[in-house]
Structures are given as C-alpha cells and as structure tokens.
Amino acid sequence: MNIPVVNLSDFVSGDPQLKQHFVNQLGKAYEEVGFVAVKNHGIPDSLIAELYSDVERFFSLPLSTKEKYKKPELAGQRGYTSFGTEHAKGYDDAPDLKEFFQFGQVVEGDNPIKDQYPDNVTVDEIPAFTPTMLAAYKAFEKSGISLLQAIALFLDLDEHYFDGYVQNGNSILRAIYYPPITQEPKSAIRAEQHEDINLITLLVGASADGLQILSMQGDWVPVTSRPEQIVVNVGDMLQRLTNDRLKSTTHRVVNPPKEKWGTARYSIPFFLHPLSDMSLACLDSCITNAHPKAYTDYTAGEYLDERLREIGLKK
C-alpha cells in the first residue's frame, strides 16, 4: 500500500493556494487512511544518517554497558529499556521483541517547566550520541509543529491552536532496536498491534520492512515510503480531542521472512506530545447529534500516565 504523499514545502511556501491544498490533502488522508508520507519535511538527510549511525553504535554495545543507562524510576521515558519490557495494551503475556532508548525535551532558558522533565541520559561511550539526538529532536519538533498547524486549519481552529501546547511539550524521540531472530519465534509479530498515545507520530525510515497498518476495511497492509519521506500518523490524544473525527491508526511490526531472520531492524519514531496540562476534552466543533461526545475529559498528563501503566512501563 502506497500511503498518500504530501509535500510540507507547499504548506510553508507562503502561497495561499498551495497551503490550502496541503491542508485539504492532509485532512483527507487522516480521515480515510490515518497515515501520510511527508516529503520535503525539513529534517536533513545528513542528520538522519548520523542519527542511525549513532543508534546502531549504541545498540551494538554489550548488554551490561547498555543497562548502565536504564532508569526504571522514569518508566522508560529517558534512557535505555531492555528487550521484552514493553507490551501492547491488552497483550501482557506477549512482550514486544525490541529494546529502545528514549530522549526527551530539553527546555532552554529559565522556564519553570524545566522542573517537570527529567534530565536526558548521556551515553559516555558515544560522545556524539546526545548532540545528535538533540539536533534530531529539535528538527522533528519543528516539522511536527507545522503539521499540527495544518491539522488545526483542517479542523477550523486557529492555525496556531497547538503551538503553545507543544512548544516545550513532553515529546519523546525513541530509538528502537529489533534484534535478529535466532530461533523459531512464538509469534509472527515483533510488536503487537497498537495505537500511539500522543498527538502525532513522525517516523523517519526504518532499516527493514515490517510496519503494517490496519486499513479501514480491516486488512493488514504493509506501509512503504520512499527514503526521502517520513511517515506521520494520528495518535490517541488527537483522536480523543477530535471525538474520533481523526482516528488513531492501529499498526504493528511483523517478523521478516525466514531468509531474513538474521537481519536486525532499527526504527526511530518521534512521539509528539503536548504539555501535560493540555485538556483532551473533545472539541465542541467535533461533537454533533450524529457523533455525540465519546470520551470523558482527561488532561494529556493523566492520559499518558494511564497508558504507561497499561503497556507495562509504569507500575
């Protein structure tokens, strides 16, 4: 399945017609598919290459070294999380076949919100790791804000509705490693079906195939995008906010064919989260007689806390 492709340079071009065309394309894709591929996304190819290089170096370190960077008291929100720790909601007995490293918000200046976020974890063995993660984080954040501005316009909100919520928000850059398969797996799934927690997810490439989405017709279809594109999907927070007008897309990662079991898979999604005190109460404009309010009122922080417990990262 070739998912719809949109050109972010149209939105930031300054041309009102191109901008509106982008908004219409993006909104239609999210209503009908839930995923888009974005070209001219503003994240330099050289930075993406550095990011993957440093991530591969980290995961090639001995397990004893990687485990120095575990921070269980932070529920996996910073540093290293070991293989088999996380599971999809409802799949407590089927842990995902992955390990990951998470990098979070860096607040500049003396903004008091800095106290809400734990420090990022510095990997001593790879001096370039933290600077590269920070540069990638900021690049993803900038592109994500532009995409949310387009979504706001599609929802007939002020273009900058989301800006104040996501600037200095609780976004996460996650580097994921799926090790080679060395014996007959119990399941054909590397990461069970799930929906993302956040507003939107930006995914830059992957070192191997395996991502599938559940179509509106109920079929699992592979997601393919070109190397110069990033894939962006709707998360649960945006689904709640829009009262299901924009639906969080169910997706999973499947094992490769047997001849490729010896191949590792790397994937680096950016989970764009708002500030914890943002209300996820359904927008009035998305509540109608045909679509009554479907969700109780939550803040983003309350919802994140609930979901972290459901997926096994928080006790």
SS3 for the chain, per residue? CECCEEEHHHHCCCCHHHHHHHHHHHHHHHHHCCEEEEECCCCCHHHHHHHHHHHHHHHCCCHHHHHHHECHHHCCCCEEECCCCCCCCCCCCCCCCCEEEEEECCCCCCCHHHHHCCCCCCCCCCCCHHHHHHHHHHHHHHHHHHHHHHHHHHCCCCCCCCHHHHCCCCCEEEEEEECCCCCCCCCCEEEEEECCCCCEEEEECCCCCCEEEECCCCCEEECECCCCCEEEEECHHHHHHCCCCCCCCCEEEECCCHHHCCCCEEEEEEEECCCCCCECCCCHHHCCCCCCCCCCCCEHHHHHHHHHHHCCCCC
Taking only the tens place, the pLDDT of each residue in 57-91 is: 999 999 999 999 999 888 888 999 998 776 767 66
Torsion, CA 305, CA 269, CA 173, CA 85, rounded to 10: 50
Average pLDDT, the chain: 89
Per-residue pLDDT tens digits for 160-218: 999 999 999 999 999 999 888 877 767 667 778 888 999 999 998 665 578 888 887 78
Burial class (CB in 10 A: 0-12, 13-18, 19+), 149: buried
In the chain, where the domains are located? 5-310
CA-to-CA distance for 232 and 88, rounded, in angstroms?
20
Q: Which residue has the tokens 């009262």?
A: 243
User: For residue 1, what pLDDT band results from cuts at 50, 70 and 90?
Assistant: low
* Angle between helix 45-59 and 129-154 (nearest 10): 130
How would residue 2 be classed by pLDDT, with cut points 50, 70 and 90? low
Span 251-264, pLDDT tens digits = 898 888 888 888 88
Mean pLDDT of 123-148: 97
CA 9 to each of CA 2, 34, 144, 147: distance values in angstroms, whole numbers, following the listed order: 20, 21, 13, 11
The torsion angle over the Cα atoms of residues 304, 310, 314 and 315, rounded to 10 degrees, is 130
Q: Which residue has better confidence, 5 or 2?
A: 5
pLDDT of residue 208: 55
Q: At what angle do helices 129-154 and 16-32 cross, to 10 degrees?
A: 90
**CATH assignment of 5-310, among 2.60.120.200, 2.60.120.330, 1.10.1040.10, 2.170.190.11:** 2.60.120.330
